[in-house]
Structure 1
Amino acid sequence: MIHNIQAIQVEALWFPLVKKFYQAYYPSGKPNKADPIWVLKDGAAIIASVRLKPLTSCQLLTALVTHPDFRQQGYASHLMSDLRPQLNQPTYCFNTPDLQHFYERHGFTPIEAEELPCELASRLKRYRVKQPSLIAMAYLP
């Protein structure tokens, strides 16, 4: 049941499980042991995961993915709600237009590439080579 599941930060011991989760359901997510990763788990099974990549003056919320068996059931929203205390500094994300409303419901607003910190503006430019429709969004506490 979704109400009994809490988001938890991944400990180093769990990293191999998270890596397998991303390989299976979001291969481009490429988790990094150095980045804080948050998950919703049901026992040993990961239901949803997201990374918060720390940068110089902000953080990048990236690689939000839900196990296919649990999609469209509110788990990603639950994870984002539980993650809110971790969004205590400017937080940015890049996503496709079809996800804009999801992130807006969680306090993110669309921004222009020129409004991004330099380290993220160059990253967005690289990402847009393969995905030209990517939009930048910001959560500013």
Structure 2
Amino acid sequence: MSTPHYRCLPSELQPLLNKFYRSHRSPMRGQAGDEVWVAQSSGDIVAALSLRPVSAGQWLTGLFVAPALRRQGVAGELLRACLAQHPEAIWLFCHPQLRCFYQRQGFVDCDPLPAELAERLARYRRNKPLVSLRAH
């Protein structure tokens, strides 16, 4: 595998995001209006994340790394590339076992959340344990 290249995916190429998720049987899907960041190797997407505008910042969703490339630093590099271009607050929800990974990337536990994210997190927590984290 060649060294991944990290970039914001132009909007006209964003359909490739859902193709990437589907190719790995991930239930994740991009949404119109999201800013998509990818890691590409030999032209293929090998990792992706989406940023969705929310009040006073962005909500990070859909971080996914191809299984064959996990634990190789790809997710961390993708996050660093994305965060370097976004000085505003960025929030995410994750399973508790991923908290340490995100803390190593500069995220911290956060409370309170913007109202729209607090409502969403409350709904999600009905079905699964999640923690909320914030960068910047």
TM, length-normalised to structure 2: 0.90
Q: CA offsets per residue over residues 14-54 of structure 1, 9 Å max, x none? A: 22221111223363321013110000001221111010111
**Separation in 1, partners of 2:56, 2:25:** 27
Other-structure match for 1:8: 7
The residue type paired with residue 104 of structure 2 is: R
Gaps in structure 1 of 5+ consecutive residues: none
Q: CA offsets per residue over residues 51-95 of structure 1, 9 Å max, x none? A: 011112211011110011111111101111212223311110000
Q: 1:135 to 1:26 in 2, by over 3 A?
A: farther
Other-structure match for 1:121: 118
Other-structure match for 2:61: 62
Contact 2:17 2:29 (8 Å CA) reproduced: no
Identity value in percent: 32
**Separation in 2, partners of 1:128, 1:26:** 23
Gaps in structure 2 of 5+ consecutive residues: none
Q: CA offsets per residue over residues 89-115 of structure 1, 9 Å max, x none? A: 111000011110111011111124xx1
Other-structure match for 1:136: 132
Which stretch shows the higher mean deviation, 118-127 or 27-36?
27-36
The residue type paired with residue 6 of structure 1 is: H
RMSD over aligned CA atoms reads 1.7
TM, length-normalised to structure 1: 0.87
Contact 1:94 1:136 (8 Å CA) reproduced: yes
**Separation in 1, partners of 2:90, 2:25:** 21
1:105 correspondence with 2:104:
yes
Which stretch shows the higher mean deviation, 9-18 or 117-126?
9-18
The residue type paired with residue 93 of structure 1 is: L
More helix by share: 1
